[in-house]
Amino acid sequence: MSNRTSSALGCLLGLLLASSSALGLEKCIYCRGINCQRSSYQAEEQCSDRLDACASVFQGDIVQAQGCLEGLEAGWREQCHGPSGGVDCEICVSEKCNTLGSARAGCLQCAESGDEHCVDAPQLLVSQRCPIARTGGSFCFTKLVEERLERGCSLSLSDQLDCLANSNCQLSRPYNRIYFHINLNNEYTNTIHSNTKHRFTTNNTKHRFTTNNTKHRFTTTNNSFSTTHSTANHSRT
């Protein structure tokens, strides 16, 4: 065999190995149905086409299916290509990249130690998408950690129960547009859609105020709160 032929075969073999390696990298996190809610369930899917992508399909903020886009069942795949594809289906193109939750839901993710807006101006921050919650739903938390405020995503039932048992921690749904935080002087500050701030002290009394012609009533007891809005469009307790 001539040196030229040997060199050509070597180049061809190198290209084949490189192509196989590229194909081998195309893996996606995989689940279907109830298995998507199990934190103990871990599976991957090998995509058959290197031009394929990874996808996660959601109903609300609950993941229903994950895997290679072209391997999804027809109904889910159509959802990814439909008008709400960017909301109810998330597509990405890197190795096992389908880890983020629905674009419908996100949380402020910051720490007082690194961002002064985390305490004083949360309305200036942009919510970021959370990783996919495997047990229960996805919630946002606001809590004091060693007298420093932190905001982020609460993704497991155990974390959410810990927060509920902690007087310095609050949970809210990701699409809740009213953000609460706790100051060190035991005041609650909330920011409504209009970006108007209202402060009140926790002294076991009821507090009322009006924002954009909507009446709000807050009741605070032992560092907990409940809210009631007088308009049907803003009902919350």
Q: Using one digit for the tens of pLDDT, what is the confidence trace for 67-93? A: 999 999 998 988 888 776 566 899 999
For domain 26-99, the CATH class is mainly beta
Q: Residue 143: what pLDDT?
A: 95
Phi (first) and psi of residue 27, to 5 degrees: -120, 150
Query: Is residue 160 a contact partner of residue 139, using CB atoms and an 8 Å limit?
Result: yes
Q: Residue 139: what pLDDT?
A: 92
CATH 2.10.60 domain range(s) in the chain: 26-99
pTM equals: 0.60
Which residues, 6 or more positions from 196, have their beta carbon under 8 angstroms from its beta carbon? 211
Q: How far apart are CA 182 and CA 167, in angstroms?
A: 10
Amino acid at 155: L
Q: Using one digit for the tens of pLDDT, what is the confidence trace for 184-235? A: 333 434 433 333 333 333 333 343 433 333 343 433 334 333 333 333 333 3
Judged against a pLDDT cut of 60, whether residue 54 lies above it is answered with yes
Judged against a pLDDT cut of 60, whether residue 155 lies above it is answered with yes
